C-alpha cells in the first residue's frame, strides 16, 4: 500500500487544503535544516553568531541559518504574507506575497543550547489567518491572536529520526522523514497522550526560585503520581516524550523570569494546541494557554503541558 504523506493534511478538517502547502513548506525547511545540522561541524557553523536576538540571548550561527531557511521556504509557498520569528525583533513581511492570507509564527531552532553536545533540537510553528484586510500590508497585530484562533500548528524534532508532528485542528498526526524517498510519511496517526505513566519534565534546579507555589505543587504531584523524571532542555524533545509516554512538562515562572521563560506565540501556543488536540491539557498558572490574549510578539508565559490527570493534580489548590 502506498505510504500516506504530508499531502494527507489536505483532506483533514475545513482548513486542511489551505494548510497543506504551508506545512509542506515547513517540511522542506525541516529537511534543509536537518542537513545543515548534520554538516555544521564541517562548515564551521557551530557556535555563536556574535549577535543577540530580541530576547537578549546570544544567537548561534545555526539559529540564524535556520531562520533564513525557514523564511525562504515560507516565501516559496506563495501563501504566507508574514512571519514572526524568535530570531527577528519585528514581523517579517514577505513583500512578494503581501496580499496572502496567512501568517506563520516560528521558533526556527528551539533548544539551540543543545547543539554543542549533539543533543536534540526542534522547530516550532503555528499558522493564523490575518485579521487585517488582505489589500493592505500585514501588521504585527495580525500575530496577536489567541490559541483559539490558531488554524494549524506543530513541531519538527531533529532526533535520531526527523519527525514532524502537526495538527490542523482535527487531532494530531506524526510524520517521519523517509530518506529513501525523501518524503515525510505518516508514522504516528492520531497521537493521544496516555493518562497513565510517563515522566515529569522540568528544570528542577530552579525549584527554589519558582513562584506560584510550584515547588509544593510539584512535590505533591511527584508523591501522588510516582512519575519518573526526564529533562532534555529542548522543549520539542521534552514535549514529544510527554505526548508519547504521558506525564507533564513545565517551565514555571521564577524570580529570574517572573513571567516565565517560554514564548507565548511560537512556543506555548503551538505546543498547547498540539497537547489539547492530543487529549491533554495546556495551562499557564490557572488559565488555559489557548485562552490567553497575546499582547506582544515576543511575550513570555509560564507553561504547564501534560495529561489532564497530571495537570489537574499539579494545579489542585490544596498544596501546602
Binding site for ligand AHM (CB under 6 A): 57, 86, 107, 110-112, 203, 233-235, 238, 251, 261
Task: Give the shortest CB-265-to-Mg ion separation in angstroms.
Answer: 11
Task: Give the shortest CB-107-to-Mg ion separation in angstroms.
Answer: 4
Residue 233: name the closest of 126, 110, 60 by CA. Answer: 110
Residue 225: name the closest of 243, 242, 200 by CA. Answer: 200
Task: Give the shortest CB-95-to-ligand AHM separation in angstroms.
Answer: 27
Cβ closer to ligand AHM: 19 or 234? 234
Residue of the chain from 73, 110, 238, 254 that contacts Mg ion (CB under 5 A): 110
Which listed option, Mg ion, ligand AHM, none, makes contact with residue 241 (CB within 5 to 8 Å by class)?
A: none
Cα distances from 297 to residues 55, 145, 305, in angstroms, run 11, 10, 21
Task: Give the shortest CB-247-to-Mg ion separation in angstroms.
Answer: 21
Cβ closer to ligand AHM: 20 or 237? 237
Residue 63 found at the interface with Mg ion (CB under 5 A): no
Task: Give the shortest CB-257-to-ligand AHM separation in angstroms.
Answer: 8
Across the chain, where does the E strand assignment appear? 48-52, 58-60, 80-85, 92-93, 102-110, 121-129, 152-158, 162-167, 173-178, 183-188, 199-201, 228-229, 247-251, 262-263, 281-284, 287-288, 300-301, 303-306
CA distance 128 to 107: 15
Longest dimension (CA), the chain: 57
Residue 107 found at the interface with Mg ion (CB under 5 A): yes
**How remote is the C-alpha of 287 from its chain's centroid?**
19
Cβ closer to ligand AHM: 20 or 232? 232
Which listed option, ligand AHM, Mg ion, none, makes contact with residue 200 (CB within 5 to 8 Å by class)?
A: none
Tell me which residues touch Mg ion (CB under 5 A).
107, 110
Amino acid at each position: 500500500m502506498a505510504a500516506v504523506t504530508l499531502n494527507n493534511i489536505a483532506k483533514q478538517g475545513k482548513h486542511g487544503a489551505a494548510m497543506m502547502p504551508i506545512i509542506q513548506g515547513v517540511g522542506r525547511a525541516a529537511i534543509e535544516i536537518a542537513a545543515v545540522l548534520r554538516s555544521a561541524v564541517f562548515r564551521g557553523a557551530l557556535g555563536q553568531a556574535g549577535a543577540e536576538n530580541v530576547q537578549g540571548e546570544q544567537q548561534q550561527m545555526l539559529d540564524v541559518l535556520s531562520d533564513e531557511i525557514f523564511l525562504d521556504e515560507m516565501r516559496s509557498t506563495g501563501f504566507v504574507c508574514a512571519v514572526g520569528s524568535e530570531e527577528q525583533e519585528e514581523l517579517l513581511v514577505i513583500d512578494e506575497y503581501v496580499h496572502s492570507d496567512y501568517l506563520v509564527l516560528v521558533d526556527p531552532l528551539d533548544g539551540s543550547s543543545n547543539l554543542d553536545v549533539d543533543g536534540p533540537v526542534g522547530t516550532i510553528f503555528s499558522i493564523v489567518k490575518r485579521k487585517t484586510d488582505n489589500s493592505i500590508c500585514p501588521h504585527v497585530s495580525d500575530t496577536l491572536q489567541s490559541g483559539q484562533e490558531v488554524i494549524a500548528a506543530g513541531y519538527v524534532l531533529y532526533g535520531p529520526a526527523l519527525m514532524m508532528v502537526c495538527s490542523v485542528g482535527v487531532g494530531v498526526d506524526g510524520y517521519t522523514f523517509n530518506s529513501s524517498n525523501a518524503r515525510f510519511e505518516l508514522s504516528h496517526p492520531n497521537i493521544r497522550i496516555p493518562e497513565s505513566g510517563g515522566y515529569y519534565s522540568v528544570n528542577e534546579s530552579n525549584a527554589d526560585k519558582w513562584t506560584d507555589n510550584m515547588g509544593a505543587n510539584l512535590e505533591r504531584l511527584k508523591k501522588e503520581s510516582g512519575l519518573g523524571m526526564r529533562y532534555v532542555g529542548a522543549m520539542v524533545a521534552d514535549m514529544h516524550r510527554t505526548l508519547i509516554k504521558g506525564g507533564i512538562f513545565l517551565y514555571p515562572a521564577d524570580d529570574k523570569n517572573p513571567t516565565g521563560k517560554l514564548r507565548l506565540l511560537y512556543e506555548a501556543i503551538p505546543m498547547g494546541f498540539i497537547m489539547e488536540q492530543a487529549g491533554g491539557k495546556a495551562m499557564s498558572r490557572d488559565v488555559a494557554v489557548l485562552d490567553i490574549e497575546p499582547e506582544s510578539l515576543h511575550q513570555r508565559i509560564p507553561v504547564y503541558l501534560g495529561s489532564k490527570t497530571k495537570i489537574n493534580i499539579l494545579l489542585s489548590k490544596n498544596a501546602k
